[in-house]
Structure 1
Amino acid sequence: MSHEEIIKTTQHWLEQAVIGLNLCPFAKAVFVKNQIRFVVSDAKHLDGFLDDLDRELVFLAQAPADEVDTTLLIHPTLFPDFEIFNDVQALADDIVAEHELEGILQVASFHPDFQFADTEPNDIGNYTNRAPFPILHLLREDSIAKAVEAFPNPDVIFERNIETLQKLGIAGWMALGLQASQK
């Protein structure tokens, strides 16, 4: 799959699931302003991927927020196992600290087999963080703070997302042209 196809697939997921289902009420503004940086990693091993993460953290920290507000670092093949990718998320948090970017940037993750603790693999609630590929989402803390200020009650987002996905179901998810987990 080419980088262009990977980005197009990721954008489709973003439009249909994240924005279309309003799973993240903050995503639409940066998407329509073209402030999301999509980066596909070709790293052959974890060290190479972490090097890509280093570069993207530095880039995002230095880029003007009105030009690039957030980055999606995508690797389509390196992390098929969610548990391993979950460990990569922990490493990413450590790298943010190493770059002294705590309080400036943070990292969220998405994965085709994302699973919250204490849930079953096919629990529809896991789909709030399911994406077509493993993705590290690099976010500006200032942008999160501004978005939360503008949203009347951000604590209800997760509960509302679960309700939305329960109504939609896996068949509805797939009808949006999104992949269901292979588990």
Structure 2
Amino acid sequence: MTDAAPYRRRIDRITDEDFLDGLADLVPADIRTMRDDCREEEARLSYARRLLHGQLDIARAELQRREGTDADSLVSTLTTILTDEAAGGPRSVSNSEVYVPTGKQGRRRGDRVLEEMPLGRLPDLTDPELVAAVQRLKEEEQAISALRRKVMDNLDRLQQELIARYRDGAASINDVVRTVEG
């Protein structure tokens, strides 16, 4: 595991190439902490992706409206877009998968794009501006997806390590699963 000192943000530490270095030498409690960090970052990235997908769907609907391929107004299509029907059907998401930001959060990947894309201004954008906005949202979504994939790969590796230790008898179930402390 890398030293956290040179990193300002947890996401930078988690996605660093040497994040999993020395994994075999770590105690289960340290691996659990790393796993929990990965879970938290994955939830944050998933939340950002969902927001980007929503904005992207809305911007694309405005493009389709302007091209004449969708005669409905943007406002009339919002219900469909926001219920995920535009993306091929509603998604099932459990409460444990939903990240809702609380308190002051640092600027994360995707924050800038989400802040710069006020949906109320879509009708005022020129066609080239709207096309550029859609492209920027797509690129940001792809970047966040790649980052999320790296976090998930590390999360999977950490989980595999904990399970292997339990199976080999090198760790107890209490070492592998965090118990709730009173």
**Category of TM-score, reference length = shorter chain:** under 0.3
Q: TM-score, normalised by structure 2?
A: 0.24
Question: Greater relative contact order: 1 or 2 (C-alpha under 8 angstroms, separation 6 or more)?
Answer: 2
State the structure with more CA Rg: 2
Which one has the bigger strand percentage?
1
